[in-house]
Structure 1
Amino acid sequence: MTKESLERIDIEGMYVAVRSFPELLREGRRRALQAETHGWPGTGINGVVVAGMGGSAIGGDILSVLAANHATVPIVVSRSYSLPAWVGSNTAVVTSSYSGNTEETLAAFDDACARGARVLAISTGGELAAKAEEQDIPLVNLPAGIQPRAALPHSLSALLTVTEPLQLTDVKPDHWAEAASITDAQSKVMAKVTDPDNPAVVLARALHGYFPVIYSSEQFAAANTRWRNQIHENAKSLAVG
């Protein structure tokens, strides 16, 4: 494979977007740290709900895995128009939509507000951002300009950052630097598209023409889901796990 042939095939710019993972990870955290969250979510929280679809929901799945052996309150990812029945005034609800116009997430936002939950929004704009600003709901405003399915590092780092006050995970500041360093190294390897030993190229060739079935332990369930979804959306191929 040559760089020219890759650019000809990759009409949506996913190669550049994936290679930008380290920068997007840093930017999402930076935006979250700069956001005016007004002390969100406060004290006495009895549960956390992450409402979103696609990549926005995957961020919640990853948070849930990271928190499995640390959090003292339940964490639920809601991919629906309505929230769980137990959501109330002591529940922290993060509504995440890259475009800000995801129908299910907008409905979940309205549901959370109607129940008096402690709501925060993550978005690049759209109706979700407008609703949040209108109701004085804390908002993490992410930069637009990439495919929503490539925005996971934005939404994930923002989600992990805004939920830090809840101490759901044992992620420490030095872990962010380590994650950035690892993804920087991976990005440099991915840049060598003409290298026949490039792990991404080797894996793509191995999967071509086959029906991938991805096995993982429970702790890697979110990564399993993410990988399958990326095969569906980018390779337009079926994968199960």
Structure 2
Amino acid sequence: MAASDPLGRDAVAAVDTTAQVAEILDLPTHLRDALWRVDSAGLRRAPASGGLVVAGMGGSGIGGRLAIAALGPRARRPMSVAAGYSLPPWTGAQTTVLCSSYSGATEETLACYDAAGVLG
């Protein structure tokens, strides 16, 4: 009797009840969509001389974590993810703070938004 492949299509489908493999395989499409959205927004460049903080809980902060991982030591300014109620202590008026919340009402992210507003 041949053993079934533990990484075969049927075995993966049996445990991947939320279709995460399909999401992973669709990552290039998601990245193209994200780049299109950024380009379409027509945002002006900001110097971010004080670094970048991405404020977001869970999946809303993943973009910041991915950017930090991708840039690593090549980043010329500090980068951080704020996944709580406060910004990093080094955050100042020259720091760009990007707040990300899927619902738009995440308490921790809104607290960071308010804190960034106080900093200027």
Distance (whole Å) between structure 2 residues aligned to residue 59 and residue 94 of structure 1: 10
Shift of 1:8: 9.6
* Superposition map of 1:10-159 within 5 A: 10=17, 12-37=18-43, 39-41=44-46, 43=47, 45-116=49-120
Structure 1 gap segments, 5+ residues each: 117-241
**Number of matched residues?**
112
Structure 2 gap segments, 5+ residues each: 1-8
- Normalising by structure 1, we get a TM-score of 0.40
Alpha carbons of 1:107 and 1:26: their partners in 2 closer, same or farther (altered >3 Å)? same
Distance (whole Å) between structure 2 residues aligned to residue 56 and residue 20 of structure 1: 18
Q: Does 1:6 align with 2:13?
A: yes
Asked whether the 8 Å contact 2:54–2:82 carries over to 1, the reply is yes
Alpha carbons of 1:9 and 1:59: their partners in 2 closer, same or farther (altered >3 Å)? closer
Q: What is the aligned partner in structure 2 of residue 231 from structure 1?
A: none
List per-residue Cα deviations over 1:164-213 (Å, max 9, x = no partner): xxxxxxxxxxxxxxxxxxxxxxxxxxxxxxxxxxxxxxxxxxxxxxxxxx
Alpha carbons of 1:80 and 1:8: their partners in 2 closer, same or farther (altered >3 Å)? closer
Distance (whole Å) between structure 1 residues aligned to residue 108 and residue 81 of structure 2: 13
Q: Percent identity?
A: 38
Q: What is the aligned partner in structure 1 of residue 6 from structure 2?
A: none
List per-residue Cα deviations over 1:67-125 (Å, max 9, x = no partner): 23222211111111111233222111111223333221122112112221xxxxxxxxx
Distance (whole Å) between structure 1 residues aligned to residue 82 and residue 54 of structure 2: 6
Asked whether the 8 Å contact 2:87–2:112 carries over to 1, the reply is yes
C-alpha RMSD of the superposition: 2.7
